[in-house]
Amino acid sequence: MADSAPTAVSKLVPESYLQPLADELVAIAARLRDVAAALASTQRSQRSERRYLAPARQAYALRRKRAAIFGNSELFGEPAWDILLDLHIAHADGKPVSVSSACIGSAASFATGLRWLGVLAAEALVVRESDSDDLRRVLVRLTRAGITAMERFFDAVISPA
Phi-psi region of 71 (alpha: psi -120 to 50; beta: other; left: phi over 0): left
The domain spans of the chain are: 4-48, 52-158
pLDDT by residue (tens digit) across 103-129? 998 888 899 999 999 999 999 999 999
Distance CA 39, CA 64 (A): 36
**Which pLDDT score, from 0 to 100, does residue 27 have?**
87
The predicted model scores a pTM of: 0.62
| 73-109 as b/e: b if 16+ CB within 10 A | eeeeeebbbbbbbbbbbbbbeeeebebebbbbbbbbe
Distance CA 51, CA 158 (A): 10
Number of Cβ within 10 Å of residue 52's Cβ equals 22
CB 141 within 8 Å of CB 96: yes
Alpha carbon of residue 113 to chain centroid: 22
Distance CA 129, CA 99 (A): 9
CATH 1.10.10.10 fits 52-158, yes or no: yes
Number of Cβ within 10 Å of residue 134's Cβ equals 10
Distance CA 113, CA 81 (A): 11
**Which pLDDT score, from 0 to 100, does residue 160 have?**
64
- Please report, in tens digits, the pLDDT of each residue of the chain (161 residues total): 455 555 555 566 667 777 787 888 888 888 888 787 777 665 555 555 677 888 778 877 777 777 788 887 677 778 999 999 999 999 988 999 999 999 998 888 899 999 999 999 999 999 999 988 888 899 999 999 999 999 988 888 877 65
